[in-house]
Structure formats: structure tokens, C-alpha cells
Amino acid sequence: MKELKVTAEMILRWWIRYKLLPTPLIMQFASHDIETLSEYGERVYGVRHNPATYSRKWRKVRLDGTMADWMTMDGYTIQEVSPVKGEKAWQVIPVTSV
């Protein structure tokens, strides 16, 4: 059986879902948090991608419709909020909170 290759996009999705645990609260993150995923991915999944890879993947999933699919499948919405000190930020809101 072929081993699953863990991609930066998978880690990004899993990280968003993880941030909503253990209780489904509204969670906020900013651009700099995306770049810390390289450490998270290596620590949790043993996979290292550079910070720019995660930033590119985040931009891609926001623009190509992938994020909308995640929200439908995983039960949350993501909304852009006012920039924090000029940095983009987003809220992840569980569907149960909407």
C-alpha cells in the first residue's frame, strides 16, 4: 500500500480544524501564524515545508475555491477581519456559532 504524502495544503487544513478543538469557539489567526506552520508541520507530522510554501498555499486555497470546499466539509466559515497592524487576519467560525 502506498504511504500518504502529507502536503502543505493538508497540514494547513488540519491546523485550522485543530485550532477549533477541544471546544468550537471562534478562532482568529493572522498572516504571520500561517508562516509558523513550518514548525507545526514538522513537530506534529514530521514534514517540513518552508514558511513561504504555507503562505502560497493559503493564498491559493482562498482564491481557487478550495477554502469553500473545506468550510462545507468541515463545518466552519472563514471571514477576513480588519487588519491587525496592517497584517491580514481571519476568523474561523464553527457553523454551530453562526
For 24-63, what is each residue's pLDDT tens digit? 677 888 988 998 999 999 999 999 999 999 999 999 999 9
53-91 per-position pLDDT tens digit: 999 999 999 999 898 898 888 888 888 997 767 888 998
- The model's pTM is 0.83
What span, in angstroms and rounded, lies between the C-alpha atoms of 1 and 18?
A: 27
**DSSP for 40-56, written as a single string:** HHHHHHS----HHHHHH
